[in-house]
Amino acid sequence: MSPTTPAHAPTPRTDRRILVGLLRTLSGHRRAFTLAVLCGVVNQGGGIAATTLAAVLVTHALAGAPLSQLLRLTVLVTGLVLLSSLANWLETWISHELSFAILAEVRMWIYDALERIAPVGLSHRRSGDLADTALNDAESLEIFYAHTSIYIAVAAVVPLAAVGTMAAFAPTLAAVLLVWLIAALSVPLWLRHAAHRHGQRLRQRSAELHTELADLVAGLRELSLFGGLERARQRVDTATAELAAAERAQSLRGGSEQAVLGLLTGAGAASVLAVGLWQSGQQPQQLPALWLVPLTALATAAFGPVHTLLRVTRVWGVTASAAGRVFDLLEQPAPVADTGTRTLEERSAVHVRMRDVTFAYPGARHPAVSEIDLHVAAGTTLAIAGHSGAGKSTLAHLLLRHMDPDVGSIHLNGVDLRELPRREVPRLVAHVDQDVFLFHDTLAENLRLAAPEASEQQLREACDRARVTPFLEQLPNGLDTVVGERGAALSGGQRQRVAIARALLQDAPVLVLDESASQLDVLSERELAAALASVRAQRTTLLVAHRLSTLCSADRVAVLEHGRLVDCAAHSELYRRCSAYARLVDAQVEAVELQAPGRESVRSVTREHRR
Ligand SMILES: Nc1ncnc2c1ncn2[C@@H]1O[C@H](COP(=O)(O)OP(=O)(O)OP(=O)(O)O)[C@@H](O)[C@H]1O
C-alpha cells in the first residue's frame, strides 16, 4: 500500500508572482547582482558609445577634419571597445557564478522540501516527474539568474541613457527614438500569454517524456515479460512528437518576435533619420547635417540591449513554468506538523497505546481505520491480521507518523507522537517494509544507512542475527559487494533479511514490521522467521502479518475488518472465540496446503491451532 495523497493543490501562479519569487531569491546575492548589472551597463553602454563615436569618426574623416582629431577619436573608440569587451567578460563570469550559487541553493531547497514532505507528500507524484523538477526545472532557472534578471536591469538603464544623450543634441529625434524603443520593449508584453502557454506546454511535455522514459527503464522487465514493449514504444513516440510540437510552437513564436523586433528597430532608425533629414533641411537649419549619421547610429545601437533582453525573455514562458513547478514543490505543506519538543525519557522499554484512532485518506468516502483502541506492552509483539484492505498498513503508517490520526492519538510511553520532533520518530520506531529499497551501493553502505558510525564488527553481528551471514559468504566481495539497483543482485527474501539487519543496527525500541505477503520456500521462511525473532526480541513490535506461522508467534493478534478492530487476543484463544479470525486462518491454511500439498510445517501448525 502507499501512504496518503495530500489534499494540497497548488494555486495557479501569475507571471508577476513568479517574477517576485525569482527576484526574492536574488536578494541574498545583492553584491554580485549589482556588479553584474554594472558590468552589463558598461558592456552595452560602451558598445553603443563606440558605435556612435565610430560614426562621428567617419563623418569627421569625410569632412576633412585634422589627423590629430581623428587619431584622438580612434583611440577613444578603441578604448571603448576594449572596455566593453572587458566588461562583457566580467559580466559573463560574475553572472554565471551568481547563477550557479543560486542554483546550488535552489537544489538544496528542493532536497529539503522532498525530505519534509516525504513519504506521504510524494506518493501522488511520479518519481520521473519529481526527478525532472529537481534536475531540469532547477536547471531552467539558470537563464533567469545568469541573463534575464541582469538584462532587465541593463535594458532599463542603457536605452534611456542613449535617449538622454540624443536629447542633449536633438530633443525631437530623442522623442522619436523613445516612442520606437517603448514599442520594441512592449513586444514581449503583447505576446506574453502565448509565451506563457508555449513555455508551460514545453516544460510539461519535456517532463512527460522524461517520466515516460524513467517508467520504461524501471519497468523494462515487466514490459518484456508481458509483451508491452511495443505499446511503451508508442507512448514514448507520442510523448516525443508532442514535445517536438511544443518546441515548434515555441520557436515559431520566437521567430515572429525576432522579426517584429527587427522591423521596429529598422523603423526606429529610419524615423530618426527621416526626421533628422527634415530638420537639417529646414531654414534656419534645426540640425547640423554632420550629426545625422552618428545620431542614426546611436538610434540603431540603442536597440541593442532590447534585442539582448528579448533574446532571453523569449524563453520566459519556459522559465516561468519551471519556476512555478519548483515553487509548488517548495511550498507544498508538510503532511504532519513538526512542532513537537518532548523527548522520551525511558527508551529501553517502550509501550505503544493507540487511543480511539480514526483516519481517512483525503477524498476517501470511508475511514481506512476507525476507533482503534490498542495497547502493545513493552517488549511484546502484536500482530495485525485482516483481509486485504482491512487497514493493517494504515495502522503501521500511523505509528511511523507518516500521517496523523484525524481523531484519537498514538502514544509511546504516554507521550503523544505529535509532541515529539519528527526526526525523533525514526530513532524510536524502526520499520521493516515488505518492499525493501536498497541503494546501488555496497551491502555495508546500505546497512550503514541505519547507523553511519557502525564498525565492521557491528555490521557482521547484525548480519549474523538477521541471518544475512549465510548468503553474505556466497557474495563475491562479502560486505563490499555492490547489491545493484534497488538490490537487484539479491533475492526478495535476502533483501528482507538485509532490512532486518538494518533495523537491528538502528536499534529503536519499537518496531513496525510489514511482513512480505509472498510465499517463500520452507528454508527461506525458516531463515526469515529466525531473523524476525531476533529483531523482535526485547522490542515492542507491531507486526502486519500475512503468514500463519507469524500470527502464531505473536503474543497477541488484533483482527481488523473494514478498518475496525474486531477482537484482540492470543492466537489460540482468538481462533476459538473469533469467527472472523478463524475464517482468516482457515483460508490461509487451505491456500498454503493447496500450493504445497503435504507440507509438514503447515500441517503441524494447523493441528496445533485447531486443538
Ligand atoms: N494512499 C491511499 N490513498 C487512498 N486510499 C488508500 C491509500 N492507501 C490505502 N488506501 C485505502 O485504505 C484502506 C486500507 O488500506 P491498507 O493498505 O491499510 O489495507 P491493508 O489491510 O494493509 O491491505 P493489504 O493487506 O492488501 O496491504 C483500503 O481501502 C485502501 O484502498
- 457-497 pLDDT, tens digit each: 888 888 888 888 887 788 888 888 888 777 777 887 788 88
- In terms of Cα–Cα distance, which of 139, 108, 118 is closest to 332? 118
Residue 604: the pLDDT is 52
Please give the Cα distance from 312 to 283 (Å, whole number).
46
Residue nearest to atom 20 of ligand 1 (CA): 389
Nearest protein CA to atom 12 of ligand 1, as residue: 368
Predicted confidence at residue 3, as pLDDT, reads 44
Q: Where are the CATH 3.40.50.300 domain residues in the chain?
A: 352-434+509-610
List of E strands, 515-579: 540-544, 556-561, 564-569
Query: What would the grid cell of residue 522 be?
Result: 520452507
Burial 40-63 (b: 16+ CB within 10 A, else e): bbbbbbbbbbbbbbbbbbebbeee
* Alpha-carbon gap, residue 611 to 607, rounded angstroms: 6
For ligand 1, the distance from its centroid to the CA atom of residue 391, given in whole angstroms, is 6
Query: Helix, strand, coil shares of the chain as percentages rounded to 5?
Result: 65, 10, 25
Instruction: Give the number of C-alpha atoms closer than 13 A to the C-alpha of residue 260, restricted to the C-beta side.
Output: 19
Determine whether the shortest distance from the Cβ of 392 to ligand 1 is under 6 A: yes
* Torsion angle in degrees (nearest 10) through CA of 540, 513, 440, 458: 30
d(CA 218, CA 223): 10
Q: What is d(CA 425, CA 399) in angstroms, rounded to the nearest whole number?
A: 9
Q: Which atom of ligand 1 is nearest to the CA of 391?
A: 18
Residue 361, ligand 1, Cβ within 6 A: yes
Q: Which atom of ligand 1 is nearest to the CA of 393?
A: 22
CA of 340 to the centre of ligand 1 (A): 28
DSSP 482: B
Q: State the architecture of 15-331 in CATH terms.
A: Up-down Bundle (1.20)
Cα(537) to centroid of ligand 1, in Å? 29
Question: What phi, psi does 364 have (nearest 5°)?
Answer: -75, 145
Question: Per-residue pLDDT tens for 349-365?
Answer: 889 999 999 999 888 88
Closest CA to 535 of 513, 558, 557: 513
Parallel, antiparallel or unpaired: strands 407-412 and 429-432: unpaired
Nearest CA to ligand 1 atom 11: 368
Q: What pLDDT was estimated at residue 406? A: 94
Q: Determine the distance separating the centroid of ligand 1 and the alpha carbon of 466, expressed in angstroms.
A: 29
- The predicted pLDDT at position 204 comes to 84
Q: What's the gap in Å between 2 CA and the centre of ligand 1?
A: 7
Give me the residues of the chain with pLDDT under 70, please.
1-12, 120-128, 516-528, 531, 591-611
CATH class of 352-434+509-610: alpha beta
Pairing of strands 510-514, 415-416: unpaired
Give the mutation target among 361, 398, 551, 561 for probing the ligand 1 site: most ligand atoms within 8 A of CB.
361
Unique residue bearing C-alpha cell 503441524: 604
Output the CA 361–ligand 1 centroid distance in Å: 9
- How many angstroms separate the Cα of 406 from the Cα of each of 209, 248, 341, 362? 38, 49, 21, 11
Q: From the alpha carbon of 363, which atom of ligand 1 is closest?
A: 4
Atom index in ligand 1 nearest the CA of residue 369 equals 14
Q: Which three three-digit cell numbers place residue 499?
A: 532490512
Decide: 494 and 446 in contact? Cβ < 8 Å. Answer: no
357 with 347: CB under 8 angstroms?
no
Ligand 1 pocket member 370 (CB < 6 A)? no
| DSSP annotation of 291 | G
Amino acid at position 321, single letter: S
Burial label for 585, CB within 10 Å (0-12, 13-18, 19+), is buried
Ligand 1 atom closest to Cα of residue 366: 29
Q: Three cell numbers at 340?
A: 513537537
Residues of the chain with CATH 1.20.1560.10: 15-331
pLDDT at 608: 52
Query: What's the whole-model pTM score?
Result: 0.69
CA of 557 to the centre of ligand 1 (A): 19
Our answer on whether the CB atom of 388 is closer than 6 Å to any ligand 1 atom is yes
